[in-house]
Amino acid sequence: MSRQLSTSLIHARQAAAPTYEASQPGVFRASTLYFADSAEWRAWKAAPHARPAYGTSGTPTTMALEQRIAGVEGASHAVLCPSGMSAIALVYQVALLPGDELLVPVNVYPSNRQFVLHELMRRGVLVRTYDPTDLATLEFSEHTRLVWAEIPAALTFEMPDLPALCARAHAHGALVALDTTWSAGVACAGFDFDIDFAVQSLSKFAAGTSEVIMGAVATKDAVLDEALRIGRRRHGLNVSPMDAATVIAGLQTLPLRYRTQDASARHLCAFLAGQPEIAQVLHPALESCPGHEYWRRDCRAAAGLLSVVLRPDIHAAWCDRFIDGLQLFRIGFGWGGSTSLVMPYDVDEVARLDDTPGQLLRLAIGLEEVGDLQADLAGAFAAARGA
Ligand SMILES: *Cc1c(COP(=O)(O)O)cnc(C)c1O
């Protein structure tokens, strides 16, 4: 039967999957997947997990990334989510029911805190905060279901004693979720610790190019993995295979980028500590940083992130002159890319565990030459002082 062009173009059959290999798995894009015949359709109805039937189950590209993230975290399973925040929300969704209790660090990542305050508490989850540098503040009850943890704290970099935290949580029958965005599997893997969920924003180090928003939850437990997959499908959380391919490419250079940024950040910590306007440099490799001994014990590297606390008499106007005097550091939130970033936080925006007053500046070190970054900082100090 001869067919019209539109029909023959639509029904052109695809060659079988190629057997050659390339450095990238390729991008497989699909919403609908076909069943070859009614026997295959009926077989799928009898065992729906045996094969994907629709794009919401993922595609070969997203599944390839899930496997890699599971490997990065020392887990056996991982599910991708459209952002780090949606990965955090999915863990809460899977782990908590009304009446359950959740323990979160008092200085938890700000957007996580917003989710807990505005989404979980009004749905009947009881939330208690704890000081990650003092595990005696963990208040368990028979209803405690989940302990959230971060290594290290998001803006102030205190390191908790994670093995002790996990032991206590499990002794009370609670699950442990760890935000691994900072460690990214390089400083340590999530499952170096006895946790239940490793939650990572892939928007940061894994993608590494500041052009993708994505997150992942990794587990070692098939039952939790199944619950995450069902929850993800019911919420309709999906990831573009194009973005997944970008992250897969990013992972190939992740350790190199991470270690370069680590070395530059530590070099700049020393420079910044010598500046008179700076009261304190916060970075877990510094002995003065709370939990430094746990960082030394548990981590092989540190992310290229640090904060400085300005002397209390240094005001916002000085800070703005300093920031505007920078040429290489851009003002922005989403660290982990090639470009160095700076972000000021007002005193009352940051939950500080100590009561040192003073504005905080968070620096994310990119991949520029460290000497150029130091010269840029020195130029900004001169500009801020000269006014
Ligand atoms: C960025 C970030 C998140 C949220 O990730 P998104 O991909 O931006 O939604 C969660 N935790 C930490 C520590 C982060 O830095």
C-alpha 45 – ligand 1 centre gap (Å): 38
- Express each pLDDT in 190-209 by its tens digit: 999 999 999 999 999 999 99
| Beta carbons of 238 and 56 less than 8 angstroms apart | yes
| Angle at alpha carbon of residue 250, lines to 249 and 251, rounded to 5° | 95
pLDDT at 21: 82
pLDDT at 50: 81
> Measured from the CA of 204, which atom of ligand 1 is nearest?
1
Share of the chain above pLDDT 90, in %: 83
Number of H helices, E strands in the chain: 12, 12
C-alpha 40 – ligand 1 centre gap (Å): 41
Burial 174-209 (b: 16+ CB within 10 A, else e): bbbbbbbbbbbbbbbbbbbbebbbbbbbbbbbbbbe
Return the residue whose CA atom lies nearest to atom 7 of ligand 1: 84
**CB of residue 217 inside a 6 A radius of ligand 1:** no
**CB of residue 84 inside a 6 A radius of ligand 1:** yes
Tell me, letter by letter, the H, E, C secondary structure of 76-130: CEEEEECCHHHHHHHHHHHHCCCCCEEEEECCCCHHHHHHHHHHHHHHCCEEEEE
> Measured from the CA of 181, which atom of ligand 1 is nearest?
13
| Beta carbons of 115 and 92 less than 8 angstroms apart | yes
Choose the residue to mutate in 86, 107, 113, 181 for probing ligand 1, maximizing ligand atoms within 8 Å of C-beta: 181
Q: Look up residue 121 and give its amino acid.
A: M
**CB of residue 83 inside a 6 A radius of ligand 1:** yes
End-to-end CA distance of the chain, in Å? 83
Return the residue whose CA atom lies nearest to atom 1 of ligand 1: 201
Q: What is the DSSP string of 3-35?
A: --HHHHHHTPPPPPPP----SS------SB---
Return the residue whose CA atom lies nearest to atom 12 of ligand 1: 181
Sign of the torsion angle spanned by Cα atoms 150, 240, 93, 74:
negative
- Express each pLDDT in 304-340 by its tens digit: 999 999 999 998 899 999 999 999 999 999 999 999 9
Contact partners, residue 339, CB within 8 Å, separation at least 6: 210, 328, 330, 332, 366, 368
pLDDT at 351: 62
